Amino acid sequence: MQAKNSTAKQKATRKTGQPSFTESGRRAQIVAAAIDVIAEVGYHRASFAKIAERAGLSSTGMISYHFDGRDDLMREVVTEVMRLADGFVRPRIEVHESYAARLRASIEGNLDLLAEYPNHLAAIVEILGNLRGEDPGMVAFLGTAEANLAVQVEQLRKAQRAGEFCDFDPWVMMRAIRAAIDDVVRRATHDPDLDVRAAGRELADLFDRATRRAS
Amino acid sequence: MQAKNSTAKQKATRKTGQPSFTESGRRAQIVAAAIDVIAEVGYHRASFAKIAERAGLSSTGMISYHFDGRDDLMREVVTEVMRLADGFVRPRIEVHESYAARLRASIEGNLDLLAEYPNHLAAIVEILGNLRGEDPGMVAFLGTAEANLAVQVEQLRKAQRAGEFCDFDPWVMMRAIRAAIDDVVRRATHDPDLDVRAAGRELADLFDRATRRAS
Amino acid sequence: MQAKNSTAKQKATRKTGQPSFTESGRRAQIVAAAIDVIAEVGYHRASFAKIAERAGLSSTGMISYHFDGRDDLMREVVTEVMRLADGFVRPRIEVHESYAARLRASIEGNLDLLAEYPNHLAAIVEILGNLRGEDPGMVAFLGTAEANLAVQVEQLRKAQRAGEFCDFDPWVMMRAIRAAIDDVVRRATHDPDLDVRAAGRELADLFDRATRRAS
Amino acid sequence: MQAKNSTAKQKATRKTGQPSFTESGRRAQIVAAAIDVIAEVGYHRASFAKIAERAGLSSTGMISYHFDGRDDLMREVVTEVMRLADGFVRPRIEVHESYAARLRASIEGNLDLLAEYPNHLAAIVEILGNLRGEDPGMVAFLGTAEANLAVQVEQLRKAQRAGEFCDFDPWVMMRAIRAAIDDVVRRATHDPDLDVRAAGRELADLFDRATRRAS
DNA sequence: GATGAATGAGCCTTCATTCAT
DNA sequence: AATGAATGAAGGCTCATTCAT
């Protein structure tokens, strides 16, 4: 066993040797509750008390029992949402051949996902947007998100080398795309009437013009 | 002004009949400290204790004395930064004639401002990004920021009508621009080596391509 | 036995009609784990969670099942260690004739025991040293330890009456001896390099001089 | 100002540049309450809640306000008691010339002190006896106690070199003395009828015989 | 017998605010 | 104006215990 505090998750993981998506029902339920609460009140106001209440638990102790602290829970939330997002968006991208079509699919796919899972995306944007250099485990986590972005940056670069995209700093472009999407996510949280799919098409058009090689 | 009880600000306002930028020295000092602290640790972790310490005050009571609660202080911070930003960016825009040049000046101006006042922009992005529909006074405040944006949206619309810009949803475009700028602000907080002026030029190019009428 | 509800121990006791040292394997295993944990982290920090972990149990519920609460477990630990200590030290004492030799054998025997079972003695010293007048069952227990001491006090008295020992308050002497030994036990916990047998010889010399009839 | 948490004590200390015995009234009051509570229920059960109640405070937050955590409070308690003990015992020792008389004065002085301030000694024995290698600040503290002991050990050594004391390991002797005294302290906590001054005289006799050069 | 989940109380800490001075 | 003390709520976390399976 480990040194200090062994949690249900750690035990489960140790037994199965499997990563976190082999959740016990309760863990998944708590993660789901956390996603809803974070989407509703934001990262910092998402207290264990509120999450426990949403999850139908009688005490916050139960969350501490299942997770090795707040950071661990947040990590699980991010993991869960990334898993969902990847499964949702990736196939929609891989259908396409041209870099331009793939970029469009990426943007529209993210906003379709938002339309179907508004809380999930709101939660991850809240968490990643409020991270500071506090917990080392969480910082390592930011690295993962960065690596994700790097993969997409590489796609942009390839498109440029292929002559399909014009000349621009691919990191700046990628961040602008990400920022625009996340902004829609944030607004959708407050404004349920927002037509996110329409916004997706508009953004896809926008960044198509911004990336296309001038004809 | 507000609900509960009389504060120094209210008294000052009543006396002078002037808006808030005629601050007492203490108020300005606290606002400045708040800006630094928010930039450093974020909106939620910017406690009165930390702000008082930064301001060289020996007790948080002083802040409560000068401001009608946390929201009031935050409002003042936003007001102050908006005033600074407006004074910095507006002249740089008005120098230009064409809409394209003005858009470029707006983007690059914001990032020049970031280069000179990194904490100010970081603070306002933190605050506005963490606002929820909690306090009515703050919500009214978000309206102000929205109105600011609306003015710029109107500029985009005019440029379109003038045939200078191509066809796009000006709200989506404006938010994408804002989001891209704010993202640089956020990153600059964590990464002091980031070349924000270069990013400004890149973003200006990016949104130039995205808005220009195809030739 | 106690007030509230039926435990495994009670069942076992009822079945066999035997006292507690006819333990089930599990009970003994838990007691052994408790001894180690108490020696390592102290009485108050020795939580069921840590003990269960050390014992290779997956839940603290098992401990509650086998013992009627924390006090019951602690009582068992003390009983077990006393049994061990008595079996170890008593024969070494009874070999000798003179009171002085028996006293020396007692002191050195205790520290030999410490050398061989450091955790056992550390645990009992921790427990008995942290007892308060809280639980009636535990207080009755302190009486047992006191009775043990009384037996040795009687030996001192006999030695005095036999003219072998000089005049002193045998209770104060006995407590000083006990305290000196326990102090070595405590230090040995933190300092593994301590030569406890050498300390035993020194203490035996010391108390020999303190008790001997002046020649 | 300092980085993380500034407490009332730190502020006071910074202002005056004086060590902790320049206490604010509340600090001293809390320390006094802590001493009583620790003496009564022991180190680990002495919660902020109990101490606050004893001090007549309405919330534990007040203690956190005045002290930088539990360890800081405990450190203050130990400092306070050591100061008291030193002021009480040292003059009684320095009156005497011979090492034997000084040793006797030390032992009896400690127990006279116990008779007058039973809670103070109980508290320090509780705290120092329950310290583990957890907090570095507290460990440094144990070093102070050790240094105190070293001074007295040196006295024993001098007495041996002067031919006044017989041959023994001065560290073992000193620890035995300390342990015997602390044991009386512990017992006095539970048994208010104990005649501690009588015990002091007995212990002084005991260790006189144990140290004296055989005639 | 054994397990993992659940409970409720208690812990220390931080927070914004209030108030007497 | 300014201070330092005080308050009460809320925060995350650990604990011994209970219970259904």
**Higher per-residue confidence, B133 vs D119:** D119
Q: Which nucleotide is at minimal CA–C1' distance from D61?
A: E13
H-helix segments, chain D: 8-16, 25-41, 48-55, 61-66, 70-94, 99-116, 118-129, 136-161, 170-190, 196-211
D59 in contact with nucleic chain F (CB within 7 A)? yes
- d(Cα C140, Cα C158) in Å, to the nearest integer? 27
Partner D contacted by B71 (CB < 8 A): no
DSSP B150-202: HHHHHHHHHHHHTTSB-S--HHHHHHHHHHHHHHHHHHHHH-TT--HHHHHHH
User: What is the reported pLDDT for D113?
Assistant: 98
Contacting chains of A (3 CB pairs or more, <8 Å) are B, C
User: What is the reported pLDDT for C99?
Assistant: 96
Query: Does the pLDDT at position B21 exceed 80?
Result: no
Q: Give the mean pLDDT of B120-135.
A: 89
Q: Is the distance from CB of B69 to CB of B115 less than 8 angstroms?
A: no
Within-domain flag for D189: yes
User: What is the reported pLDDT for C32?
Assistant: 95
Tell me the pLDDT band of B14, cut-offs 50, 70 and 90: very low
Measure, in angstroms, how far nucleotide F21 C1' is from residue A16 CA.
21
Convert the pLDDT of each residue in D27-61 to its tens digit: 999 999 999 999 999 999 999 999 999 999 999 99
The list of chain C residues with pLDDT below 50 reads: 1-22
Convert the pLDDT of each residue in B202-211 to its tens digit: 999 999 999 9
Contacting chains of B (3 CB pairs or more, <8 Å) are A, D
Query: Does the pLDDT at position A185 exceed 60?
Result: yes
Within-domain flag for A3: no
Within-domain flag for A1: no
User: What is the reported pLDDT for D95?
Assistant: 97
Query: Does the pLDDT at position B5 exceed 50?
Result: no
Strand F nucleotides within a 7 Å radius of protein CB atoms: 1-20
Structure tokens, A127: 């968490």
DSSP B83-145: HHHHHHHHHHHHT--SHHHHHHHHHHHHHHHHHH-HHHHHHHHHHHHT--S--HHHHHHHHHH
Within-domain flag for B22: no
Q: Is the distance from CB of B188 to CB of B196 less than 8 angstroms?
A: yes
Within-domain flag for B184: yes
| Domain range enclosing A53 | 8-211
Query: Does the pLDDT at position B33 exceed 70?
Result: yes
User: What is the reported pLDDT for A127?
Assistant: 95
Chain D residues near residue C183 by CB distance under 8 angstroms: 175-176, 178-179
Structurally, chain D folds into a number of domains equal to: 1
**Higher per-residue confidence, C13 vs A92:** A92
| Domain harbouring D20, CATH code | 1.10.357.10
Query: Does the pLDDT at position D5 exceed 70?
Result: no
Partner B contacted by D11 (CB < 8 A): yes
Q: Give the closest-approach CA distance of D100 to chain B in angstroms.
A: 54
Q: Give the closest-approach CA distance of B53 to chain D in angstroms.
A: 7
Within-domain flag for D113: yes
Within-domain flag for D31: yes
Convert the pLDDT of each residue in A149-178 to its tens digit: 999 999 999 999 999 999 999 999 999 999
Measure, in angstroms, how far nucleotide F12 C1' is from residue C70 CA.
25
